[in-house]
Structure 1
Amino acid sequence: MSEKKKWMPRWFYQLASPRWSYEIMGKLLPWFAIAAAVLLVIGVVWGLAFAPPERYQGNSYRIIFIHVPSAFLAQSCYLLMAIAGAIGLIWKMKVADLVAKSCAPIGASLAVLALATGAIWGKPTWGAWWVWDARLTSMLILLFLYLGVIALNSAIESDAMAAKATTVLSLVGVVNIPIIQYSVEWWNTLHQPATFKITGKAAMDMQMWAPLLVMVIGFYCFFAVSLMMRTRNEILYRERRSSWVRELIEKQRG
């Protein structure tokens, strides 16, 4: 093994194999699907039926059980897309490019969900569906970045060229993530500071924080399921002429 490979774990290079990646994702899918289903059901019932009303916002605050996880995940998905694209660009891993490509529509959907639920929450809280707040505006830019990646993937016929172009756009757009995260601290905005923190003391009661944490983890498990399903489909399409895909199709037919 070369000196360059010694410091990298074996599984990292195994990911370069479309067949190995396809099979390992297939083994992980059921576990993540079960975890997502259980956590989301528990989180929704706990948050909507058992969490107490908020002192000032009453029951309208309950939309955070959808809004906060979708906003978190929209940002995490973008970071994953950029990292996967960079790995594909540097190490020439086709599977990494496919992961990056699969992230874009999922992330765009999450950004739309975060913006929509934020608007629904904002109406009773601020008296308006939309304001050009720093947090909201930077979140809208995130959606446009996702749409730009999707458009580039559709417009460029060469898979290699599309992967390079979308990776460049993704890496440039990463600067927007800290802006989303810290905009409420850097500028005077209507959007409230973060009430949910993985580390540090939460700015909300444990009876509200606990079901929200369950929902966040459930959303991440659901994202993993969606990403693996899309990536597996991309692998099958890219490798449709390879012998192992043909064997797989014949096995399923038989």
Structure 2
Amino acid sequence: MKLNVRKSIAAVGTAMALAVTPVAVPSMAPTAFAASDDQYTTRKGAVESGLTQIKIAYAAKMAEIESTSTSVSGNDDADLKVSQARTKASEADGLIKLAEGYLESVEGKGNDDGNYGTLGSAQTALNDAKTALTRVDTYLTEARAAKKKAEDSKFECPGATNFDKKKDKVTEGSTTAGLKSFFTSSGNRVVYKNGKKECVSNREYYTDMLTKLVAVLGTVLTLITTATKISDVVMKAAPGAPA
């Protein structure tokens, strides 16, 4: 009986010892990526090319900001959007300079420890700069839309025969109504000139159309007359032609 008790105690002791014995656990620390020289060269070239392209895009976007600012000036909503575009452009500029700094820090060092990762940080900065410039595009589009909306709200063209009130937009309208108003000097028409809506009388609209049509017909008749004269000259010069 005593022997069995001793064996039981020994078994329990062994189990407890095993329970508290430390077990080796594989390390979870990140392992540094060892890039090849070709991978390093490829990434460095991508950063250099990316910087060149983003600088060109940034300069173009700044010019667009200035031109848009001038064209929408005076409209509060549009001015706000331009201001937001400037803020995003400034953010892009900072990211471009950050990428430049990363690139400069690895110049002349080659594929040493950490330089491949530094170039990766430069690529991240460039991608963020592209995203910022995309937002600049969005804000400028919204600025122009705000300006146009304000102009459209003030635009009036009484009795426009080509304005569909049900759809609230300019359509081809009723040709019959337009032609009737041509003879009665009444009625207007919405036209677009250089991308902007203008209100002109139907008489002016159709007179302009007729003037252009007459000019085209005149050109055609001139060409026909010229061709006929050339044909006559050729026929007379042909062998055996009557004198």
Calculate the TM-score normalised by the size of structure 2. 0.31
Structure with max Cα Rg: 2
1 or 2 for the larger relative contact order (CA 8 Å, sep ≥6)? Answer: 1
TM-score by length of 1: 0.30
Higher strand content, 1 or 2: 2
